[in-house]
């Protein structure tokens, strides 16, 4: 098994049940959807460790999620990719156009995934060599603060010493001066690491690129980006001296030295492997490129064209990127849509067959809203509590207040447009608007308790009125 494959073995601990329990920390309900994506993710690892003769034959089971907005489709896919440390991108199907039209072609999603994977692997490699980069950066800063003195060997004559860059006898540093210089550098290194020199200014030689060349032409957006990057890389690089504080210089030099220590060939190879075998592409709003089954005409023709262009990508093909050819055979595609106007059956048959697993996400109930406000690690209540902590204010939500907000969110969703959990953002904002404005200068209160009465007071006019336009996003 290759080294790249060995990096995936830590996924052995991510069993389907554990994946679901991890997703439960952030997403309420939708058990069937969580179960389907957990199995799909586990199957990625199972394929990697399968016998080589059958490994290439095992294809991923792509997933089609069907559900209204705000029920957790995107969040499930995003958290799934974070769990697996896998390259993940979210694209809007409605942004793509058929080949031959101006706009982004469907292959750009694969190029974006590879670019994300390269950046992800590059960041990890940078962190691995950060300690070495910090040592190199400290040496450069010390050289700028206390230039080193080179000792002259006893066998070197003065003329030879001057030829290799040493000082002449008139300005020659004695042995004791060299020792003093070394001890001074050691003392300054201790101060540098303690942060005592952070405000001192030094000058460094930095590389500045020439003005970027803008490429405009009839090619696609991605092709022009690649050509522009190639031309800019060929442009001459100028060196200039720039003033930094020591703290600024440290950050700049660590970044520069980390970049030099990275082997980009290794990074690209690993990134392409991750993209091909672990990459997840989430295609949102896929129902927007599906006609409703009536007579096709106008934009419907282009929508079907996007489906035809999407088919070979999902089916498995080779896409040329600036980092090299990339196969999409084993990438996991998760598509999602509300399908209010059209139906999944209105997709072209070939594309339907490429999404064999279909999951319907349930609309959120009042009880779901209560749990969304209480349980997730990133619950809105916890977010607002963290925001006000910065002003030294404690925010407490009574259970009755959470029940009241959940009830209003559910009723508004039923009476107007059902936008799922996103409705809670608007309600929470209206409830806490005055507190967020008055803290910290208008009021000196250090603790606010939100009760059901307070919620009703803030929302009474809207809750009683038939015109609920304030809650429409």
Domain over 3-124+273-360 is classified CATH 3.40.640.10: no
* Mean pLDDT, rounded, for 60-76: 89
Residue 5 has pLDDT above 70, yes or no: no
pTM for the predicted model, two decimal places: 0.77
Three-class DSSP category at 234 = helix
For residue 237, the cross-strand partners are 209
Q: Which two tokens stand for residue 369?
A: 């809203």
Which residue pairs from 262-266 have beta carbons closer than 8 angstroms and sit at least 24 positions apart in sequence? 262/122, 262/125, 262/126, 262/129, 263/125, 264/122, 266/125
Task: For residue 201, list its beta bridge partners.
Answer: 245
Strand partners, 207: 239
Report whether pLDDT(211) > 60. no
Break the chain into its structural domains and give their ranges.
3-124+273-360, 135-152+165-261, 366-463
Give the C-alpha separation, 219 to 227, whole Å: 10
What digits encode the pLDDT tens for the residues 357-390? Answer: 999 998 899 999 999 999 998 899 999 999 999 8
Domain 366-463, architecture per CATH? Orthogonal Bundle (1.10)
- Per DSSP, 210 falls in state P
Q: Residue for token digits 């950046």?
A: 119
Cβ–Cβ < 8 Å for 282, 74: yes
Tokens of 191: 């101060």
What's the pLDDT score for residue 225? 58
pLDDT of 237 strictly over 80: no
């Amino acid at each position: 098994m290759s080294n790249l494959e060995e990096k995936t073995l830590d996924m052995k601990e991510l069993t389907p049940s554990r994946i679901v329990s991890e997703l439960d920390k952030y997403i309420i309900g939708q058990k069937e959807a969580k179960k389907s994506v957990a199995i799909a993710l586990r199957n990625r690892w199972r394929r990697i460790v399968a016998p080589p003769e059958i490994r290439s034959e095992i294809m991923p089971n792509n997933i089609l999620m069907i559900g209204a907005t705000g029920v957790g489709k995107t969040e499930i896919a995003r958290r799934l990719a974070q769990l697996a440390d896998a390259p993940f991108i979210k694209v809007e199907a409605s942004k793509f156009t058929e080949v031959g039209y101006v706009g982004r072609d469907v292959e750009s999603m694969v190029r974006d995934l590879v670019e994300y994977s390269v950046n992800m692997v590059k960041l990890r490699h940078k962190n691995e060599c950060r300690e070495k980069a910090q040592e190199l950066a400290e040496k450069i800063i010390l050289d700028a603060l206390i230039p080193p003195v080179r000792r002259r060997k006893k066998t070197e004559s003065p003329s030879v010493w001057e030829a290799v860059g040493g000082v002449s006898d008139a300005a020659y540093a004695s042995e004791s001066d060299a020792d003093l210089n070394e001890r001074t550098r050691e003392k300054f290194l201790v101060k540098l690491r303690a942060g005592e020199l952070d405000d001192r200014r030094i000058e460094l030689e930095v590389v500045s690129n020439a003005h970027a060349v803008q490429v405009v032409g009839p090619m696609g957006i991605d092709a022009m980006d690649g050509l522009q990057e190639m031309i800019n890389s060929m442009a001459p690089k100028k060196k200039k001296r720039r003033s930094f504080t020591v703290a600024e210089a440290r950050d700049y030099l660590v970044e520069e030295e980390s970049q030099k220590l990275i082997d980009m060939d290794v990074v690209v190879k690993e990134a392409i492997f991750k993209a091909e075998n672990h990459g997840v592409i989430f295609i949102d709003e896929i129902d927007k490129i599906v006609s409703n089954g009536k007579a096709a005409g106008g934009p419907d023709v282009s929508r079907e064209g996007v489906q035809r262009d999407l088919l070979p990508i999902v089916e498995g093909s080779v896409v040329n990127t600036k980092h090299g050819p990339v196969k999409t055979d084993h990438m996991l595609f998760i598509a999602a849509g509300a399908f209010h106007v059209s139906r999944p059956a209105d997709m072209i048959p070939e594309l339907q067959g490429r999404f064999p697993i279909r999951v319907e996400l349930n609309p959120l109930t009042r009880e779901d809203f209560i749990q969304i406000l209480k349980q997730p690690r990133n619950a809105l209540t916890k977010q607002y509590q963290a925001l006000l902590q910065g002003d030294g204010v404690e925010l407490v939500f009574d259970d009755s207040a959470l029940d009241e907000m959940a009830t209003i969110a559910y009723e508004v969703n039923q009476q107007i447009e059902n936008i799922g959990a996103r409705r809670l953002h608007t309600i929470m904002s209206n409830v806490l608007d005055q507190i967020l404005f008055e803290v910290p200068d208008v009021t000196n209160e250090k603790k606010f308790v939100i009760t059901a009465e307070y919620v009703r007071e803030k929302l009474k006019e809207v809750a009683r009125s038939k015109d609920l336009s304030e809650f429409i996003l």
